[in-house]
Chain A
Amino acid sequence: GDSVTQTEGLVTLTKGLPVMLNCTYQTTYSPFLFWYVQHLNEAPKLLLKSSTDNKRTEHQGFYATLHKSSSSFHLQKSSVQLSDSALYFCALSELGSFNKLTFGAGTRLAVCP
């Protein structure tokens, strides 16, 4: 079946530094990838999504590129802020099928002053 792997459980960074949160996936179908962000005591909300190979998608300073050749959809930001501290989930769906998302375990990003 489908799976999503997020290798880091916790990433701790100082404000202003760049960040990359890893996401790799496995599926036998055409993938649709998402990043959801959940701030403390808040609901998860969509950050980015893509189904287009090798095209960078951006939102609120975060960006990701779907690479089907390496089955990856890493999330990046060039300069993290304190407000970026949150739990980040990578999720996978099958393009053209029912919206049944497979989520990764999540990566908690902690940004320090």
Chain B
Amino acid sequence: GGIITQTPKFLIGQEGQKLTLKCQQNFNHDTMYWYRQDSGKGLRLIYYSITENDLQKGDLSEGYDASREKKSSFSLTVTSAQKNEMAVFLCASSISQFSNERLFFGHGTKLSVL
């Protein structure tokens, strides 16, 4: 088995601050994802990466950057934190990019912006 590790677990930021969330997986999966989870809105895709150094925008990419410098890691940057923003950011991975593959999720990073 494998695991997805997200750091930090909790992140408190100030309005306008640039914040970086990190994700590591040891499944040796090709594809990695960042999702945002808001209460009552399900999970929305921010960025995904099919392989090392690949980046693709999801539906919610505005206000975020991402980086996939190694196969095992995928980081997400909030470019300018919004006041009173509160959400959970979930990292996930899958063996491939194809539609029938299950996603494996991390436990999430909970963001609060003061």
Contact = CB atoms under 8 A, between A and B. Distances in A.
Interface of A: 4, 9, 32, 34, 36, 41-46, 49, 51, 89, 91, 93-101, 103-106
Contacts, number: 66
A98 B100 contact: no
B107 A51 contact: no
Given A101-B45, A103-B42, A106-B42, A44 B105 contact: yes
Contact of A98 (B97, B103, B105): B97
B43 interface: yes
A93 B103 CA distance: 12
Nearest to B106: A43
Contacts of A46: 102-103
A2 to B, nearest CB: 10
Contact of A99 (B43, B99, B108): B99
A45 B105 CA distance: 7
A98 B48 CA distance: 11
B72 interface: no
B107 to A, nearest CB: 5
Contacts of B43: 44, 89, 91, 101, 103
12 contacts: A32-B100, A43-B104, A45-B104, A46-B102, A49-B100, A89-B43, A93-B99, A98-B98, A100-B45, A100-B58, A101-B45, A103-B43
